[in-house]
Amino acid sequence: MDIESIKGRLPNEIIESISGRGIKSFTPPQEEAIKKGLLDWENIVVASPTASGKTLIAEIACVNSVIAKRMKSVYIAPMRALVMEKFHEFREAYPYIRSTVSIGDLDSGDLSLQNYEVLFVSTEKFDSLLRHGINWLDRVGCVVFDEVHMIDDPSRGPTLEVLITKLATTCKAQIIALSATIGNADELAKWLNGKLVQSEYRPVKLKKGVEFGGKAYYPDEKYGIEPVEEELGGSSGIPEIRILEDTLERKKQALFFYATKRNAEAGATKLADHVERVLTQEERKKLDELGNGVLNALDRPTEQCMKLSRLVKKGVAFHHAGLVNAQRAKIEDAFKSNLLKTICSTTTLGLGVNLPAHTVLVRDTSRFEGGSNESIGVNVILQLFGRAGRPKYDNEGRALLTAPYRDRVADLYKSYIIADPEAIESKLGIIPVLRTHVLSFIAENFLNDKKSIHRFLMKSFYGFQYGNEKHVKNLVDEITDDLVEFEFIEEKEKDTFIATRIGKRVSELYIDPLSGRWILNTLERDNDKIANLYMICNTLEMRPYVRGTDEAEEMFAAYRFVFKDKKLYNEFDKMDYGYYDPVRAFSTALMLNDWIEEQKEQDIVKKYKTTPGELFSKLSNADWMIYSATELAKLVHRPLHDLIDLRVRLRYGIKEELLDLVRLEQIGRVRARILYLAGIKTVADIRKNRERVSALLGKEVGAKVLSQISE
């Protein structure tokens, strides 16, 4: 179907934007979506491979809503990086449409958002907006749910499912759900009362196979049953190196996926020398600059930073949650520009930003979870395979698994290469997951009685899939009983509830009710610094905790002995936390304490066997939890000063003596310490020592600092 053929059915602005990008005809999934009612406001579920054109379907629906209906559109995705990527793509295509992105503060209704026509948000952010009672929901004409198969994810799926159910039952907007290939796309479409667009179309052909002994085994194109073998270029007997050699001979790039961060780093180390051999002199020069950039992403480089820098200079990188955002961004940009030839990553890279390569190798098909090795699902492997083949660069992409021994070839071939995708399943129907959502229903005045909550849950994907009304009724009974006991809701009439002031605030703060109850129970006037850190660390939001250290075990035992009557060190025994080790939560608190005592990052990550990325992720979550504790302290009239100071110290990683200095922009933990050691200990001292400040901080930074305290 040509773009011109739908002139008159769509606003000219959309036609012009699409044509201006050199697109002359629609892909098969796009054409089918149009035929099934995309332009007529039908709900559409698209299940098709990566790069098949799903984003353009969503774009057409969003812009059509804005221009033809004069209504807002919302684009919702599970990962922040993906939200940012889609926002930038949209803004470039439609600079005249008022669009914005919102992925941050979960305790805000963001009143400014009502002024925008297209909003790009994370799942949690939009759920938070609903909890804060946005007044523009009735002006939304289109909602896009990207990566809707994430409903199957135990951690993120329930929030996504509740959000979809809320919007489907309260909002008249057109719903566009985008997914990779899944086994029960028809069931998802029926639940959403939508038309299914299901396709295997890919603009770049994908060859999927299994590598063993220097050969790749692919399905027979004609029959698709028995594998056909192909000799790989290169000579190495090590699978990753052989596949890399073959890829580099083709002058292509590769993505290698591993089950763990450690394996990804080891893989990059193994490949580095082989990549370095093919680099040009110009590439080496640019990679030296890039290596220095990732080395200095932190104030003081860690061992991981140094390792990453060395590898980057050889044209290869590892990529996982242990890196800080600045490092990940530099690596992704360098790979997109063909400067880095290979990235060794954990599976998270395959589920986030669009980073395609000619060759994808999934080295590990199992991972250690829950005390045992678990096979990685077919859908995850297919999602990773989807990164193979770059539109505009490749005629064909290649995705491989590697077999450790000959007999394993047939198993992998049957289990993944010719296997059907798995059905996705709701993860909503368990009490710890539902508790936070039921509180939000009541706090928002969205649903206030057991009967309406029950009806709502029966409309969810969980209710649609299982239809067990008795089980759902029992869940609602148990959860509302818990929330009454927590004093977060009150029963006004039989089976009808209102949120208490504290319950409403817990919901708005977007923390788990169990975490809110824990903080309220342990928020005591005589809490010292360690006590407050442990209070916020011993919450669900701070999981997974760092490993327990011997120091943490000894100190925790000592604190429990000294403070026998203090709830903080004993209350956890009574809490419904399930199995966990409080020493690990205490160890996490000690790690944060080392940070605010200005220990070096490299020493902290080594001591607690963590990574810079995970350290800063914990600091981000700690900021959220200490803010929540401060807000709850206001309601129960607890002192705020220590909590406020602790939040600033966590944000900057400073001792108490530097609190005054960091009030100024451009002054963080390093510059504040430089000034303090030079005898400049307060903002007043800066005012008195202008020339010396400029000498210590440099002329440019010094000028910015001094401009904030002008006479």
Q: What is the DSSP letter of 76?
A: E
Q: 207 phi and psi, to 5 degrees?
A: -100, 120
Question: Using an 8 Å Cβ cutoff, are 159 and 167 in contact?
Answer: no
Between CA 62 and CA 6 the distance in angstroms is: 17
Instruction: Let me know if 1 is exposed, middle or buried by CB neighbors in 10 A (0-12, 13-18, 19+).
Output: middle
Residues of the chain with CATH 1.10.10.10: 431-506
- In this predicted structure, the answer to whether residue 293 has a pLDDT above a threshold of 60 is yes
Written as six digits, the tokens of 509 are 């703060």
Question: Using an 8 Å Cβ cutoff, are 141 and 176 in contact?
Answer: no
Q: How many CA atoms lie within 13 A of 41 on its CB side?
A: 12
- Residue 78 bridge partners (DSSP): none
Among 346-350, 351-355, 467-471, which is the least confidently predicted range? 351-355
The CATH number corresponding to 205-417 among 3.40.50.720, 3.30.230.70, 1.10.3210.10, 3.40.50.300 equals: 3.40.50.300
The CATH number corresponding to 3-198 among 3.40.630.30, 3.20.20.70, 3.40.50.300, 3.40.50.970 equals: 3.40.50.300
- In this predicted structure, the answer to whether residue 223 has a pLDDT above a threshold of 60 is no
Q: What is the dihedral of CA 263, 266, 267, 271, to 10 degrees?
A: 180
- In this predicted structure, the answer to whether residue 69 has a pLDDT above a threshold of 60 is yes
Helix or strand (DSSP H, E) at 476: helix 469-485
Q: 300 phi and psi, to 5 degrees?
A: -130, 115
CATH topology of domain 511-653: Sec63 N-terminal domain-like fold (1.10.3380)
Between CA 238 and CA 253 the distance in angstroms is: 18
**Which among 140, 163, 637, 174 is positioned nearest to 444, based on CA atoms?**
163
Residues of the chain with CATH 3.40.50.300: 3-198, 205-417
pLDDT of 479: 95
The pLDDT of 648-668, averaged and rounded, is 95
pLDDT of 563: 86
CATH topology of domain 658-707: DNA polymerase; domain 1 (1.10.150)
Q: How many other CB atoms sit within 10 Å of the CB of residue 172?
A: 11
Q: 46 phi and psi, to 5 degrees?
A: -110, 120
pLDDT of 371: 65
**Helix (H, G, I), strand (E, B), or coil: what is residue 362?**
strand
Q: Considering just the CA atoms, what is the radius of gyration of the chain in Å?
A: 27
End-to-end CA distance of the chain: 68
CATH topology of domain 431-506: Arc Repressor Mutant, subunit A (1.10.10)
Helix or strand (DSSP H, E) at 162: helix 157-170
Residue 364: alpha-carbon gap to chain centroid: 22
Written as six digits, the tokens of 501 are 């002031």
The pLDDT of 404-411, averaged and rounded, is 89
Is the bond into 544 cis (omega within 30 degrees of 0)? yes
Q: How many other CB atoms sit within 10 Å of the CB of residue 367?
A: 16
Q: What is the DSSP letter of 148?
A: G
Residues 357-382 pLDDT 10s: 999 999 999 987 766 788 899 999 99
CB within 8 Å of 461: residues ≥ 6 apart: 151, 161, 164, 165, 188, 191, 426, 428
Average pLDDT, whole number, for the chain? 92
Question: Using an 8 Å Cβ cutoff, are 49 and 385 in contact?
Answer: no
- In this predicted structure, the answer to whether residue 224 has a pLDDT above a threshold of 80 is no
Q: What is the DSSP letter of 232?
A: P
Between CA 349 and CA 346 the distance in angstroms is: 6
The pLDDT of 512-525, averaged and rounded, is 92
Written as six digits, the tokens of 494 are 């039989």
Residues of the chain with CATH 1.10.150.20: 658-707
Among 181-185, 192-196, 238-242, which is the least confidently predicted range? 181-185
> Which residue, chain included where needed, has tokens 């198969």?
149
Between CA 100 and CA 130 the distance in angstroms is: 17
Residues 45-55 pLDDT 10s: 999 988 899 99
Residues of the chain with CATH 1.10.3380.30: 511-653
Q: 140 phi and psi, to 5 degrees?
A: -90, 120
Q: 506 phi and psi, to 5 degrees?
A: -60, -45
Question: Using an 8 Å Cβ cutoff, are 510 and 128 in contact?
Answer: yes
Q: How many other CB atoms sit within 10 Å of the CB of residue 394?
A: 21
Task: Grade residue 536 by pLDDT with cuts at 50, 70 and 90.
Answer: very high
Between CA 82 and CA 120 the distance in angstroms is: 10
Question: Using an 8 Å Cβ cutoff, are 211 and 398 in contact?
Answer: no
Residues 295-315 pLDDT 10s: 999 878 889 999 999 999 999
The pLDDT of 548-553, averaged and rounded, is 94
- Residue 145 bridge partners (DSSP): 76, 177
Q: 7 phi and psi, to 5 degrees?
A: -60, 135
Task: Grade residue 571 by pLDDT with cuts at 50, 70 and 90.
Answer: low
Q: Which amino acid is at 423?
A: A
- Residue 73 bridge partners (DSSP): 118, 142
Instruction: Let me know if 356 is exposed, middle or buried by CB neighbors in 10 A (0-12, 13-18, 19+).
Output: buried
pTM here is 0.91
**Which among 615, 573, 591 is positioned nearest to 534, based on CA atoms?**
591
The pLDDT of 149-159, averaged and rounded, is 92
